[in-house]
């Protein structure tokens, strides 16, 4: 049995009211390359999401009022995201260490959860490793050698706890 590895950070997320404008701004200012935004639904919330093509990933998301991605108060930094080899044990550990549960996607069939980290004043997200290959297939450029190397060097059994 291999020892569990420390958490594997993989993205930063901003909630924005206008995804197209945010994509354009970051492309112009920092040469960020984007995938095409996707529309999706989680529970009662329709939302739009996009990730950059390069690692480290930048996520932009916009959702309706009262959703986890409510942008009615304007754009904001929302969360840092980590992979987990055990979503259940990671959520329990984070809660016992003082992180406050914000949203758990598991009852809706999604393998992620948000927690609020009070000392940084922001959310942290944990995503089950089972989603890692689908994420990489959906959101990375096949020409992004760094992202693909990252995936190969981060086997599912070696990701966060």
Asked whether residue 1 is assigned to any structural domain, the reply reads no
3-state secondary structure (DSSP) of residue 94? helix
**Domain enclosing residue 106, as ranges:** 8-158
Q: Are 26 and 13 in contact (CB under 8 A)?
A: no
CATH code: domain of residue 79: 3.10.180.10
H or E element, residue 29: helix 19-30
* Tokens 């991605």, residue located: 69
Strand order in the sheet with 122-128: 38-42, 45-51, 57-62, 8-15, 76-84, 122-128, 112-117, 100-104
Report the domain count for the chain: 1
Asked whether residue 3 is assigned to any structural domain, the reply reads no
pLDDT tens-place values along the chain, 161 residues long: 345 555 689 999 999 999 999 999 999 999 999 999 999 999 999 999 999 998 889 999 999 999 999 999 999 999 999 999 999 999 999 999 999 999 999 999 999 999 999 999 999 999 999 988 888 888 876 545 444 444 444 444 343 44
Asked whether residue 109 is assigned to any structural domain, the reply reads yes
Q: Are 92 and 70 in contact (CB under 8 A)?
A: no
Asked whether residue 48 is assigned to any structural domain, the reply reads yes
């Amino acid at each position: 049995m291999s020892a569990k590895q420390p958490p594997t950070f993989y993205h930063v997320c901003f909630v924005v009211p206008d995804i197209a404008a945010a994509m354009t701004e970051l492309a112009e200012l920092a040469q960020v390359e984007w995938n095409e935004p996707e529309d999706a639904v989680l529970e009662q919330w329709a939302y739009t999401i996009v990730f950059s093509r390069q690692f480290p990933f930048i996520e932009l998301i916009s959702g309706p009022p009262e959703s986890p991605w409510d942008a009615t108060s304007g754009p904001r930094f929302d969360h840092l995201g980590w992979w987990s080899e055990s979503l259940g044990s990671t959520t329990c550990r984070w809660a016992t260490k003082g992180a406050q549960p914000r949203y758990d996607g598991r009852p809706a069939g999604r393998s992620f959860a948000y927690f609020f980290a009070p000392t940084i004043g922001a959310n942290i997200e944990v995503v089950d490793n089972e989603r890692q290959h689908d994420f990489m297939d959906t959101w990375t450029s096949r020409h992004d050698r760094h992202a693909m190397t990252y995936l190969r060097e981060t086997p599912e059994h070696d990701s966060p706890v």
